Amino acid sequence: MTIQTTRARFAGAAVAVVTGVVCVPWTQTATAAEPAPQHCVVDARSGQQSCFATFTAAVDRATHGQITDAPATPRQAVASKSFRAELSGVRAAAASGATSKAAAEGDVIQGTFFDEKNFTGSSLTITGAGLCPKDGWINYQTDLADDWKNRISSAQPWGNCAIWLYPEPGLGGDRDGPFDENTADVGQMMNDRTQSIGFS
């Protein structure tokens, strides 16, 4: 007796048909590698965004080369007293009207945001025209680009700013905040829901 076997490919799996009996062999599903985190910098005034493979390169861009040795990851930056002191020095120079390139252009890091809790994953650093005066008003605002909408899970305020998160563009919807210190988890209300940000 001869048994004929026919092989066919259905939805990526090899299927053997043997005299009317279908045998589906076990196949291992390949998992796609997780994409490497990106560290982006956006100018809130122009909306221009640049992305880098390392947080160090993103800080270099955000400070116009004034800080070239930032920690490799945002989480390390949170723990680094020397980095925070260096960033405060850049901020103080901008506030005093020093003639550095960043101060002349009015660039101040106002906040850094992360797509995972605990300051991990990809990061978005937002630069703006100046320090926040802490006068109770939203002094600076930005709508997130499509690739950053509904992603923020943790946040770091900089530039004397408190952060307000909004679920709609143009500071629309019920806001949450102020986040005026490093926040490892923005909470259930705004986790993965932010579309615009206010700085006060």
Condensed to tens digits (0 to 9), the pLDDT of residues 109-155 reads 999 999 999 999 999 999 998 899 989 899 999 999 999 999 999 99
- C-alpha distances (whole Å) from 194 to each of 95, 115, 117, 189 are 29, 11, 14, 10
pLDDT at 18: 41
Q: What is the mean pLDDT of the chain?
A: 80
Residue 13 has pLDDT above 50, yes or no: no
Give the pLDDT confidence of 76-87 residue by residue, as tens digits.
Answer: 877 777 877 777
Concatenated DSSP letters for 17-57? EETTEEE----PPPPPPPPPP-EEEEETTT--EEEESSHHH
Residue 183 has pLDDT above 60, yes or no: yes
Pick the residue with more confidence: 79 or 182?
A: 182
Going by pLDDT thresholds of 50, 70 and 90, the confidence category of residue 90 is low
Residue 178 has pLDDT above 90, yes or no: yes
pLDDT at 87: 74
Domains of the chain: 35-199 (2.60.20.10)
Q: Are 176 and 186 in contact (CB under 8 A)?
A: yes
CA atoms within 13 A on the CB side of 59: 21
- C-alpha distances (whole Å) from 14 to each of 7, 8, 60 are 7, 6, 51
